[in-house]
Amino acid sequence: MKNFRTFEIAVSFYHLATSLPVKRPLKDQLHRAALSIPLNLAEGRGKPTMADQKRFFHIAMGSVRECQALLMIGNLQATDAWITLDSLAAHLYRLIENTR
């Protein structure tokens, strides 16, 4: 997705998240939640109305919060994944705010 910085950060986070040393079942849940973020951003960007877009962006934000919780549970806040996820949350928040 060209010129969609939030999506690019989401993809970067997914790759970082899937390489973290996390035990099951956290690993499976983290992979699913991390994958949900760029997929919902892509689907939302393809919707014709702002209301539809915003709905998918909110779903992506829910997955961001889920990933934050999973990283906290796994004691992985001191990682590049956490830093990238924090940046992603900020970008996504601004995207949602600008989709009004």
Going from the N-terminus, what domains does the chain have, and what CATH number goes with each? 5-98 (1.20.1440.60)
Is it the case that residue 23 has pLDDT exceeding 80? yes
Q: What is the mean pLDDT of residues 49-78?
A: 96
75: region left, alpha or beta (phi > 0 left; psi from -120 to 50 alpha): left
Q: Which pLDDT score is estimated for 18?
A: 95
- Say if residue 2's pLDDT is above 80: no
Average pLDDT score over residue span 55-74: 97
Tokens found for residue 54: 């915003």
User: What's the pLDDT at 100?
Assistant: 66
Residue type, 54: K
d(CA 42, CA 13) in angstroms, rounded, equals 15
Rounded mean pLDDT of the chain? 94
Question: Using an 8 Å Cβ cutoff, are 71 and 77 in contact?
Answer: yes
- Look-up of token digits 């989709």: 99
How far is residue 26's CA from residue 31's CA, in Å, rounded to a whole number? 8
pTM for this model (two decimals): 0.93
Tokens of 35: 């994958």
